[in-house]
A and B are shown apart, each in its own frame.
Chain A
Amino acid sequence: MIDLKVKIGTLRLKNPVLLASGTCGYGKELSDFLDVSMLGGIVVKGISLEPRKGNPPPRICETPCGLLNSIGLENVGVERFISEKLPWLKDKGVTVIVNCLGNSIDEYRELSGRLGNVDGIHALEINISCPNVKKGGALFGTDPELTFKVTKAVREETDLPIIIKLSPNVTDICEIARACQEGGATAVSLINTLLGMAIDIERKRPFLGNIFGGLSGPAIKPVALRMVWQVARCVDIPVIGIGGITSFKDAIEFFMAGATAIQVGTATLIDPTSSEKILNGIIDFMKENNYLKIADMKIKD
């Protein structure tokens, strides 16, 4: 009998497939297509203390096997999330992980304190890696000392499991991951988008309104997989794999690299049911290859 359950500290997931932040709204947007409660959980759109309008258009640009975006963390703010968005998720019995973004360590502290005592929230994913906002975000995720400080500050505020979402735009990902572990993180998730850009050669100007954007989709999967492999071998806390997972085969690669769970992101934008298909594919693969649990798939060095 296959056991799909995974543990991320005290967070228990019924299966290892999560929806990645920024590609699934607050869950309800997907409910026309998918029963979100069948998944391991949802990481909702990044939340800040105050609502954010996001970046000027154009915000997206398709690239070979990928997508550049500069949405800029448009979100309803923490209070409206709790009052308007969370009740639906609670009602459906969805495991909710809230992606948190601050401009300063104090803001991360305040936000996690506010969310830490709310019923229906099962874990926090601390976003220190968004490339699309000027302050905060990637500023923290590219500096091991700031990473440590943010992690420690959040850890002091809440007993919820804390997942730190890492940026790939660094020289040494292990240095950042170790700072998370030392700061008291429950787990790390990686990767966020790769910083990129596109130029409109007809209009002779950068394509995106924000000039730079984050690259996601199948194009970044090899980079993500390499970083997950490295981090799974340099820290003792669970690693959640993200980056271009489009089919169950991609997910299996991440489990073999050492991921405890995975997040489906950009693939949901193309096919809102792709997470369900990936989950079914994982089950079939495990049956055919006689794996009993997710951890059994990790390649031993």
Chain B
Amino acid sequence: MLQKRQILRQKVLSNTEIRPNIFLLKVASPEISVSATPGQFCMLRVTEDESNDPFLKRPLSIHWINKDTGEIQFLYRIVGRGTELLSLIREGEEIELIGPLGQGFKIEDKEIPIIVGGGLGIAPLLFLADILRGTRGVVILGAVTKSHLLRLGAFKESGLEILVATEDGSFGNKGLVTEVFDRLMARLDESDRKRCMVFSCGPFPMLRALYHLCKIYGVKCQVSLETFMACGTGLCLGCAVKAREGFLHVCKDGPCVDAKLIDWEG
């Protein structure tokens, strides 16, 4: 018998602006911390109980989890009224959330994980990097400029090799994450490339460019997709994205999907 999934009310541990308009939200949620896998998301309510505006919950990927303390983290940017209201929630207050939801990244032993994150796309990747601790994995993080690089220290704690790209060259390699990825693949031999699995999240053009490189090098690639969502639970079919055949629904088929299923030109 499947246990009924609860709509949780959980205590906020902190909600801190770590960069202008970018917040790190920490919530005490032992339930979610034990069941979630990297790449999954939660729906968060941003308003008080009786208010219907904004009406929808907000989907946020799980940034990091501490299974020992039951703490879960979300990393988000203020992009509209919903996230602005979310940013006003204070330590000690409660937040309503549903999760974990959706399909996380598929992780297999013996693969060489290559994690590629651009901008705020790094949000679901820290939890993944942490799980992949002790592997030969490589993390490639990208940002426009040094001050936009997020959570570099936290990624370093995973012990994985970290490569950084900034578009203006103010930190790490000058250029795009895809250029760093290209050079990394070029220096691997064929047998290692076959064992690579790319896990990525970021702006759509970045994911598309990355997928094309993966195709050229014959490397498997999973991406975490972002889209507007109403329910997050498979009820409304509102989060459709174009796939090779028909549509994929980000909340149930994703957010993490095999990149070859997507219609990248659609």
Contact = CB atoms under 8 A, between A and B. Distances in A.
Q: How large is the interface on B (under 10, 10 to 19, 20 to 34, 35 or more residues)?
A: 20 to 34
Interface string B50-61: 001111110000
Contacts of B7: 33, 271-273
Interface in B72-115: 82, 98
Greatest chain B CB density within 10 A among A22, A25, A270 is at A270
Interface stretch (B134-142, B176-184, B227-235): B227-235
Contacts of B233: 29-30, 32-33, 269, 272
A53 B246 CA distance: 6
Nearest to B240: A57
Interface stretch (A60-68, A91-99, A138-146, A184-192): A60-68
A29 B234 contact: yes
A60 B2 contact: no
Contact of A74 (B52, B98, B231, B247): B247
B236 interface: yes
Given A56-B242, A57-B227, A269-B231, A62 B236 contact: no
B3 to A, nearest CB: 9
A16 interface: no
A270 B235 CA distance: 10
A221 to B, nearest CB: 10
B175 interface: no
Main secondary structure, interface of A, reads: loop
Contact of B235 (A24, A62, A74, A246): A24
A54 interface: yes
A32 B2 contact: yes
A25 B238 contact: no
B247 A54 contact: yes
Contacts of A25: 234-235
Contacts of A23: 231, 235-236
A53 B247 contact: yes
A217 interface: yes
A218 interface: yes
Nearest to B250: A57
A66 B237 CA distance: 17
Interface in B30-83: 45, 52-57, 82
A275 to B, nearest CB: 12
A60 B230 contact: yes
Q: Is the interface of B mostly helix, strand, loop or mixed?
A: loop
Contacts of A77: none
Given A32-B2, A32-B5, A246 B236 contact: no
B56 A74 contact: no
Contacts of B82: 62
B60 to A, nearest CB: 15
Contacts of B213: none
A103 interface: no
A34 B4 CA distance: 7
Contacts of B229: 60
B55 A270 contact: yes
Contact of A54 (B4, B234, B235, B240): B240
A61 B227 CA distance: 11
B44 to A, nearest CB: 12
A263 B240 CA distance: 25
Interface string B214-237: 000000000000011111011111
Interface string A10-54: 000000000000111100011111100000000000000000011
A59 B237 contact: yes
A57 B243 CA distance: 11
A62 B83 CA distance: 13
Contacts of A34: 4
Interface of A: 22-25, 29-34, 53-54, 56-62, 64-67, 69, 71, 74, 217-218, 246, 266, 268-273
Interface of B: 2, 4-5, 7, 45, 52-57, 82, 98, 227-231, 233-242, 246-247
6 contacts: A22-B236, A25-B235, A53-B247, A57-B242, A60-B236, A268-B231
